[in-house]
Amino acid sequence: MKLALLWTDIMVWFLVISLLVWSRVISRSPQVKKQWHTIFKSSIAMASAIILLFYLLFTLLDSVHLRFSTTPTETKSEKVLYQGDIVSLLDLLFAHNIESTERTYSAPFSTHEYATSIVVDENGVTKQEYLPLKHVGNGDDIVDKSIFAIFIGLIIGGSLIFVHIVWRKKRGFKSELPWRTAYLTLLSLVVTFTWFYMLSYHYHVLGTDKVGGDVLYQSLKSIRTGVLIGILTTLIMLPVAIILGVSAGLFGGWVDDVIQYLYTTLSSIPGVLLIAAGVLVMQVMMDNNPGWFETTLERSDLRLLFLIMILGITSWTGLCRLLRAETLKISQIEFVTAAKAFGVGKLTIIRRHIIPNLMHIILISVVLDFSGLVLAEAVLSYVGVGVDPTMHSWGNMINQARLEMAREPMVWWSLFSAFVFMFILVLAANLLSDRIQTVLDPRNKS
């Protein structure tokens, strides 16, 4: 077994480490600490943050990829051969769902296939029957299994809450944060996931798709794609938007003219056309160089990375225009004028006066753009210029469900599952951004 590093895995873990270091640095500032403390005084913000962390946990589990050797070698001199498939920790966790593939569609918690099939009985009579599924129980003990799963979930969730309470008392934290809301949200998520996970050994909790794949597993695998596109695309476009927006507003003159011309020209081109052109160019390049990839996953991962870069290049113009306008206003305020009069350099003015007064706009835009990009991935995959069709994503699930909705009887659970997982993620991000805007906006005197 060896660790297989994909490009997106490296970016995800680098981002997580950077956020931990950044949170450690800003925790030394009493003012910043007080602001974030005020943000999480809201029960809605606290619950939204717990939900986002839960999604991030699944992203990290799906961002550790391994390759297993085909056969154990007896001597160290022999060359180790590895399997063609790369699996993540999430794949290992749901290995039973990957192996228990059915023949075709089945509804959630069903014991038989969703559509009838032609069978011939012992007497040679042809008839239509609902064939039983191969990898589910008989359905008689679902209540007992559900009660046991909920009980296990309560134990796990209660243990986590107990450990956190002990840690809080040990550190002497006496804050006014809504810990009761946080604990209830965490307990609900742990119990729900435990119930889904334990019942997935006996049933297809969210049904199966056309080729018999488990929809619950597909929905959880799609979390990584949605979160990566939302976070990494935002971080790619953020430095470009900040540097160009602040420079245009503060320096003015020909610098402002060039930057305005740049983002006006880019905004006039439909984003879908730019994305489609970039994806098609990348697709041709990958088709002409098949030796770049050892596995299908590496190929789809490179396409995902290129899609993230294309989205980042095409989505910075709105924030850049906003930061330019705000910088023009801030540059006329008395403390900036005084700093210029005392001969303070422009880079120092940007670092000490401009950026701190733009942080509320930047943070709000980051969260809102995250929500928009998660939805954009679904739309782009639906029209065929998104992620690779072999990669799990909510957009691909919705695209496949488009044809399933026209069936009779209608197959609704694939679309429903993708919608619910995407809706919860986007709603939590939007609610948290509203609270951040309320607290960090300097014009809000409440």
Per-residue pLDDT at 103 exceeds 90: no
Q: What is the mean pLDDT of residues 418-426?
A: 90
- Percent of the chain past pLDDT 90, that is, above it, reads 15
Q: What is the pLDDT of residue 174?
A: 63
pLDDT of residue 52: 92
- pLDDT number for residue 446: 54
In this structure, of 236-245, 340-349, 409-418, the range with the lowest mean pLDDT score is 340-349
pLDDT at 129 (0 to 100): 80
90 located within any domain = no
Flag whether 436 is in a domain: no
Distances in Å between the Cα of 403 and the Cα atoms of 36, 376, 395, 411, 414 are 46, 20, 14, 9, 11
- Summarised one tens digit per residue, pLDDT across range 372-385 is 788 787 777 777 77
CB 88 within 8 Å of CB 66: yes
Residue 152 inside a domain? The answer is no
Contact between residue 220 and residue 56 where contact means Cβ atoms under 8 Å apart = no
* Distance in Å from the first CA to the final CA of the chain: 57
Residue 361 lies in a domain: yes
Q: Which of 105-114, 234-243, 288-297 has the lowest mean pLDDT?
A: 288-297
Determine which of 1-5, 40-44, 188-192 has the lowest per-residue pLDDT on average. 1-5
Instruction: Please say if the pLDDT value at position 185 is more than 90.
Output: yes
C-alpha 75/C-alpha 232 separation (Å) is: 43
> Above 70 in pLDDT, residue 80?
no
Total domain count, the chain:
1
Q: Which of 305, 238, 289, 286 is nearest to 63 (CA)?
A: 305
Query: Average model confidence (pLDDT) for the chain?
Result: 83
75-79, 130-134, 180-184, 223-227: the lowest-pLDDT one = 75-79
- Confidence class of residue 82 from pLDDT cuts 50, 70 and 90? low
Is residue 220 very low, low, confident or very high in pLDDT (cuts 50, 70, 90)? very high
Q: What is the pLDDT of residues 294-340, one digit of tens each?
A: 777 878 888 888 888 888 888 888 888 888 888 888 888 888 788 77
**Is residue 84 predicted with pLDDT exceeding 80?**
no
Does 132 reside within a domain? no
Range from 11-15, 285-289, 363-367, 371-375 that averages highest in pLDDT? 11-15
Nearest alpha-carbon partner for 313 in 366, 267, 248: 267
Q: Has residue 343 got a pLDDT over 60?
A: yes
Q: Would you tell me how many other CB atoms lie within 10 Å of the CB of residue 418?
A: 25
pLDDT class for 424, splitting at 50, 70, 90? Answer: very high
pLDDT at 158: 93
pLDDT for residue 69: 73
pLDDT-based confidence at 50, cuts 50/70/90? very high
Tell me the CATH number at 239: 1.10.3720.10
CB burial readout 144-170, b (16+ within 10 A) else e: ebeeebeebbeeebeeebeeeeeeeee
Give the model's pLDDT for residue 195. Answer: 94
User: Picking from 4-13, 78-87, 416-425, which range would have the lowest pLDDT averaged per residue?
Assistant: 78-87
In a domain, 98, yes or no: no
- On the question of pLDDT at 270 being above 90, the answer is no
Domain region containing 422: 224-427
The verdict on residue 270 lying in a domain is yes
Is it the case that residue 85 has pLDDT exceeding 80?
A: no
DSSP H or E run through 215: helix 215-251
What distance in Å separates the CA atoms of residue 106 and residue 186, rounded to the nearest whole number? 31
- Over residues 197-215, mean pLDDT: 88
Domain for residue 115, yes or no? no
State the average pLDDT over residues 60-81.
70
